[in-house]
Structure 1
Amino acid sequence: MSGIIISNTLRTAWRQMFYWGLGLGLLGMYIVFIASNSDIVQGYADLFESLPPALLTAFGASGAELFRSTEGWVVTILVSELALFLSVYAVMAGLAVTANEEQSGILDMVLSLPISRRAFLLEKWLAYALLAFGTVLISGLLPVMTAVALGIEADIGIIFASILAVYPGALIVITVTVLLATLFRRRIAAIGAVAAYVIGSYMFSIIGGSASGPIADLLEAISYFSHVGGEAIVAGEYEPSGALALLVAAGLGFALSAYLFDRRDIGI
């Protein structure tokens, strides 16, 4: 691995990371600004108490009591929205690894460079994994700085840790997108497949969180949204096993992608 592909990708794609991080960070700042008013927080908590469990699960909460603390309110609202928006960013990042260049008909020219296919894929994947982490970091720093500036009564560490916990989910979406782009030569087919994966994972999280029984538990377990962990961090019950499982799955998914990419023809 020469590092040339990584450095070139970081140099050309850092603006996308910055703009996404800035946009999501501004969203976080707005949510923190609302949370600085305790009356608004309590009003929302009263509202959420009247919602059915399925809607609460859509916000990443198992009960309305989570909304009564400032950090619980910020984490529940912000993390659920970040997980969705970062999934969109992750799909775009995953497509940029190989699918966009193959769709444009220039991937075969890029692969004519003195670098193996596996090394090329590894460097591109690592570059976008780093860019995704930078996006999460920026989107977390801005609301945390806002909370400090406003002097809100909340545990800043919990808020920041909850935002960082979104990253493994973004990485698994990048990896799944790379894998599907390897399986499907047509970019639109890969987009459709990964969109079905993201939407299905979100629905599995809602169904699994609002229902009971072995099937519901299985649906919740296989959804990457269920392993974000914001509520568990607020409650002090966070277990890193879910995040570790996503990271391991991302590594295995990339290994499979590299194996398949090394053996298939490139579209021209």
Structure 2
Amino acid sequence: MRGSTFIETLRRAWRSTIMWSAGFGAYGLVVVAVLPDPEGMKKMAEALTAVPAFVWQMVGVQDVSVLATTGGFIAFRYFLTASVLLAVWAVLTGMNITLNDESAGISNMVFSLPISRMRVQLRNSRPISSHVQSSR
């Protein structure tokens, strides 16, 4: 049946997708909840000017005074951490698909077929990319 691997992988991974999405949402609420007052953000931005400029360039901040605004604070605190966590989630989910197939004995049967390993991995990773797109 065409697309059965896609459907089966989506069926197995929907719980973890919902839990990770809820975790991202909860982390966003925590970041907004601990948002300091405007005076505190200005003091924090002044304190962060001591950090060398090359460090700010590595994380994508051109001007430290942006962190004194509400949007800059949320963008720095949430989106920097969330992007790293999203990458971790994608790697863990991809490894989970491969490990589940191996532990169930499915990989032995699939790899005995005249199909390249790259094609099998791409077939298994397609549902994960759709989950990543839906969690943004």
Counterpart position of 1:15: 15
SS of the residue 1:56 aligns to: helix
**Identical residues among aligned pairs (%):** 22
The aligned counterpart of 1:101 is 101
Q: Deviations over 1:55-93 (max 9, x none)?
A: 434544233122122212211221211122122112112
* Contact residue 3 and residue 123 of structure 1 kept, 8 A: no
The equivalences for 1:197-236 within 5 A come to: none
Distance apart, 1:13 and its partner CA? 0.7
Residues 1:126 and 2:130 are matched in the alignment: no
The CA distance in 2 between the partners of 1:68 and 1:123, in whole Å, is 46
Q: Secondary structure of the equivalent of 1:98?
A: helix
Q: Deviations over 1:103-155 (max 9, x none)?
A: x372113x1799955654333211011112233x2xxxxxxxxxxxxxxxxxx
Q: In the alignment, which residue of structure 2 is the partner of 1:209? A: none
Aligned residue identity for 1:62: Q
Distance 2:129 2:77 in 1: 25
Give TM-score scaled by structure 1 length. Answer: 0.43
Amino acid at match of 1:123: R
Instruction: Give the Cα–Cα distance (whole angstroms) in 2 for the partners of residues 30 and 115 of structure 1.
Output: 50
Q: Secondary structure at the match of 1:2?
A: coil
Query: Residue 12 of structure 1: SS of its match in structure 2?
Result: helix
Give me the whole-angstrom Cα distance separating, in 1, the residues matched to 2:112 and 2:15.
25
| TM-score scaled by length of structure 2 | 0.77
Alignment of 1:35-184 (within 5 A): 35=35, 37-57=37-57, 59-102=59-102, 104=103, 106=105, 107-109=107-109, 111=110, 116=115, 120-135=120-135, 137=136
Q: Is 2:5–2:123's contact at 8 Å kept on the other side of the alignment?
A: yes
State the match for 1:30 in structure 2.
Answer: 30
Report how far residue 34 of structure 1 moved.
2.9
Q: CA RMSD in A?
A: 2.9
What one-letter code is carried by the residue in structure 1 that aligns with 2:126? L
Report the counterpart of residue 238 of structure 1 in structure 2.
none
Seen in structure 2, the aligned counterparts of structure 1 residues 40 and 17 have a Cα distance that, compared at 3 Å, is farther
Retained in 1: the 8 A contact 2:38–2:68?
A: no
Kept after mapping to 2: 8 A contact 1:60/1:76? no
SS at match of 2:34: helix
Q: Aligned AA for 1:133?
A: Q
**Higher Rg of the two aligned structures:** 2
1:3 corresponds in structure 2 to: 3
Other structure's SS at 1:50 match: coil
**Cα deviations across residues 224-251 of structure 1 (Å, max 9, x unaligned)?**
xxxxxxxxxxxxxxxxxxxxxxxxxxxx
Partner of 1:244: none
Q: CA 1:129/1:22 → structure 2, altered by over 3 Å: closer, same or farther?
A: same
Q: Is the 8 A contact 1:17 1:134 kept in 2?
A: no
